[in-house]
């Protein structure tokens, strides 16, 4: 219990200390007009208040990732707590803040355009493909996961196929309509369910004195799966997630002032980490590693959510908690499709003011996702995890380059970027869905690739520091200043 409470305290302290430091490094400009005003179109660029933006950002980024991921990561034992806490403070929240704020400085641009600007034009095409792959996978996962949970709460005559169809209908409407019509209007109610579920389970753990394991670096995974690199892909959204880099630009187009960025981007990542801590702690305290593994094998993370919720809060409270968990993926799935539509529109330079233009892009995306729902969830999750963290790696390198070109402290981004490069390359070289190489060979190969990335970045930084001319990092600046 002490470990759990200390972890929550550290996350809160991290927001007020390191979050403030990251904000200082970035250098906000309160007097600078944001894209919400300079590019206002009534569809995607719409000024909204900080509270509403913060809530939407939290619901956007907090899909099943900060619940399902930590539940599966709980198999490793309390070492998972370390990744959630330190990953969120020094990597995830930095990642979210930089992608959101750099997007604000660049007309609300999405990650592919930012990668093209700061890492090279050729990279833009690669990142565009990566981002779309990730978003379609996320949207698909976030249809099947809540549908499975809802199926347990509805009468037997309502099939899971009907539930999936209804979720797709909601996603389609939310993707097409202006952001303030559905997402901006109904998210406060969804947020209430989110708070009830997370706080309810968290308080239940404390009140009942749940036997949450104290800190140990021992790997408790019943199948003895190595901590590196899989833990850092299994627990993604609760610590560091590339999916967030696709969501932050949505809110960068509705943010009224740069001073609100720390609360919206850094703060909501910390809030998501608290949610992840609660569910990881619940899974560890209620189930032994072997029991948890068996339940995951038989019913998946959704079964764990149901058992934990009912056990901690009773039938009525547990049902509300489950509804709160259902809200998370649904309020990320809709913005996943929305973000995919916006990325494709930016890539092919098609304005989205006319609804016919939105339909032209959205319909094919939904067709692909419907086909993917026929795939095995566990297989989808493996591809999602790797694509997710690879996108995070790219976003961190974008942030590092942005800061480095201004001769600011790029280490806040380049150090986690280096670590995630090692994680992602090791995984894809070793994993069955990748090259299937031995771990030793994969580790060596990943080291070579990571060193190459660092060398290329160092070369760019060396060139930058040889001149007094600063790169045009913001749309508001001239070619040089």
Is residue 469 one of the residues assigned to a domain? no
In a domain, 399, yes or no: no
Number of domains in the chain: 1
What are the DSSP calls for 230-296, one per residue? THHHHS-TTT--THHHHHHHHHHTT-S-GGGHIIIIIIHHHHHHHHHHHHHHHHHHHS-HHHHHHHH
Range of the domain at 116: 2-18+34-228+243-389
Q: What is the CATH number of the domain that holds 221?
A: 1.20.1740.10
**How far is the C-alpha of 132 from the C-alpha of 344, rounded, in Å?**
8
Could you tell me the two tokens for 54? 């913060």
Q: What integer pLDDT is reported at residue 64 of this predicted model? A: 67
479 has pLDDT over 70: no
Closest CA to 333 of 247, 241, 236: 247
Residue 478 has pLDDT above 60, yes or no: no
Would 63 be classed as within a structural domain? yes
In a domain, residue 398? The reply is: no
Please give the C-alpha separations between residue 423 and each of 72, 177, 217, 358, in angstroms, as whole numbers: 18, 38, 19, 37
Q: What is the pLDDT of residues 341-396, one digit of tens each?
A: 989 998 888 988 888 999 999 999 999 888 887 776 666 667 777 888 999 999 99
How many whole angstroms separate alpha carbon 87 and alpha carbon 70?
A: 13
pLDDT single digits (tens) 226-256: 999 999 998 988 999 998 998 899 999 999 9
H or E element in which residue 239 lies: none
Is residue 49, in this structure, part of any structural domain at all?
Answer: yes
* 25 is a domain residue: no
The verdict on residue 188 lying in a domain is yes
**What is the Cα–Cα distance from 425 to 446, expressed in whole angstroms?**
5
Is residue 416 over pLDDT 80? yes
3-state secondary structure of 467: coil
Q: How confident is the model at residue 316 (pLDDT cuts 50, 70, 90)?
A: low
Residue 474 in any domain: the answer is no
Question: What is d(CA 229, CA 223) in angstroms, rounded to the nearest whole number?
Answer: 15
What's the pTM value of the predicted model, to 2 decimals?
0.88
């Amino acid at each position: 219990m002490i470990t759990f409470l200390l972890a929550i305290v550290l996350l809160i302290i991290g927001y007020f200390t390191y979050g403030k430091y990251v904000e200082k490094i970035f250098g906000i400009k309160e007097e600078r007009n944001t894209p919400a005003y300079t590019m206002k179109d009534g569809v995607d660029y719409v000024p909204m208040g900080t509270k509403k933006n913060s809530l939407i950002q939290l619901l956007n980024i907090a899909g099943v990732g900060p619940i399902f991921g930590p539940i599966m990561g709980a198999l490793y034992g309390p070492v998972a707590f370390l990744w959630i806490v330190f990953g969120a403070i020094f990597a995830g929240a930095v990642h979210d803040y930089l992608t959101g704020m750099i997007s604000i400085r660049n007309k609300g641009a999405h990650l592919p355009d930012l990668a093209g600007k700061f890492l090279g034009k050729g990279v833009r095409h690669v990142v565009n493909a990566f981002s779309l792959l990730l978003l379609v996978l996320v949207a698909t996962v976030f249809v099947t996961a809540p549908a499975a949970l809802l199926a347990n709460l509805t009468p037997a005559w309502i099939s899971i196929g009907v539930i999936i169809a209804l979720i797709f209908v909601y996603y389609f409407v939310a993707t097409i309509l202006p952001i303030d019509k559905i997402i901006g209007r109904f998210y406060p109610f969804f947020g209430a369910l989110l708070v009830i579920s997370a706080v309810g389970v968290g308080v239940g753990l404390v009140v009942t004195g749940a036997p949450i394991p104290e800190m140990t670096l021992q790997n408790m995974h019943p199948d003895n799966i190595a901590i590196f690199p899989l833990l850092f892909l299994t627990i993604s959204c609760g610590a560091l997630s590339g999916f967030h880099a696709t969501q932050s630009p949505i809110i960068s187009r509705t943010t009224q002032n740069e001073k609100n960025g720390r609360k919206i981007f850094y703060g909501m990542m910390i809030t998501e980490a608290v949610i992840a801590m609660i569910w990881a702690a619940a899974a560890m305290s209620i189930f032994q590693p072997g029991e948890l593994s068996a339940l995951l094998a038989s019913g998946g993370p959704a079964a764990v959510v149901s058992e934990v919720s009912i056990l901690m809060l009773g039938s009525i409270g547990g049902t509300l908690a489950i509804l709160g968990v259902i809200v998370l993926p649904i309020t990320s799935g809709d913005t996943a499709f929305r973000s995919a539509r916006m990325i494709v529109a930016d890539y092919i330079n098609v304005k989205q003011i006319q609804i016919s233009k939105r339909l032209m892009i959205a319909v094919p995306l939904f067709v692909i996702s419907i086909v993917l729902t026929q795939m095995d969830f566990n297989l989808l999750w493996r591809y999602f995890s790797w694509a997710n963290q690879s996108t995070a790696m790219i976003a961190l390198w974008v942030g590092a380059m942005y800061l480095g070109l201004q001769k600011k402290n790029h280490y806040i981004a380049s150090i986690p970027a280096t670590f995630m490069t090692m994680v992602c390359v090791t995984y894809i070289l070793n994993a069955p869905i990748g090259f299937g190489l031995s771990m030793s060979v994969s580790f060596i190969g990943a080291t070579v690739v990571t060193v190459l990335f660092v060398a290329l970045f160092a070369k760019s930084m060396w060139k930058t520091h040889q001149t007094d001319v600063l790169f045009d990092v913001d749309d508001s600046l001239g070619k040089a200043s």
